[in-house]
Amino acid sequence: MRSQPDTLDPSPWMPFETRKRARDEKRVALLRTAVRLFLEEGYHRTPLSKVAERLNITKMALYNYFGSKEEILAELFRLGSEQYEAGFTAAESMKGDGLTKLRQLIRAYVAIVTDDFGMCFARIDDRELSDEARIAVRRAKRCYDSTFRALIRAGIADGSIRPCDPKLAAFVIIGALNGIADWYRADGALSPDILGTEFALRLTEGYAMQRPEQP
């Protein structure tokens, strides 16, 4: 009589995809915790031991994900840059005249600068980064500035924006938008949607071409 095979004990190891997903989730949690501490207390005043304490893990456990605090900051800038790039691409691809696209770009910018990663990109000094990472960040910032200028020029050309200096106008708008990162609080009374709508109107009303009223 053939003996029945022994029942195999379940493997103590999680499947690869499950382990990878768990690691990715922990990595995101680490980045979210780090960026909030950097924004609340300052980059220099936030040692990795404090990040680890907030996560209830050991400092050595952090090194399973990042080799240094500067490496964490570089990743935060990269994630922020990705958000801006996606928002800018969506604004540029929408239909409408230059003023319409400019206002959409402002709304997109507000949505990003009120998020932790976007706020980090706008607020924390990129001189904390290595030369290579800093060059990449500044290249991205120049690209965003160029997008604002291009939409302002397009608006001037199609008659939706008054003739002005696109470079100066872009400086005014971007400066005001980046200032949001200094005072915005997620638990405040103003939501990103409200801020986006208001800033899109207020920052462009002086540049918008007055159109004749329809009879």
DSSP state string for 188-214: SS--HHHHHHHHHHHTTTTTBPPPPPP
pLDDT digits (tens, 9 = 90+) for 125-154: 999 898 999 999 999 999 999 999 999 999
Q: What's the pLDDT score for residue 3? A: 55
> Hunting for tokens 């691809």 — which residue is that?
93
> Could you tell me the two tokens for 146?
């160029």
Length of the chain (residues): 215
pLDDT digits (tens, 9 = 90+) for 164-183: 999 999 999 999 999 999 99
pLDDT digits (tens, 9 = 90+) for 56-108: 999 999 999 999 999 999 999 999 999 999 999 988 888 899 999 999 999 99
Q: State the pTM of this model.
A: 0.83
Q: What's the pLDDT score for residue 117? A: 94
DSSP state string for 68-109: SHHHHHHHHHHHHHHHHHHHHHHHHHS-S-HHHHHHHHHHHH
**Residues 62, 51 contacting (CB under 8 angstroms):** yes
- Going along the chain from its start, the domains and CATH numbers come out as 15-67 (1.10.10.60), 73-210 (1.10.357.10)
Flag whether pLDDT at 215 surpasses 50: no
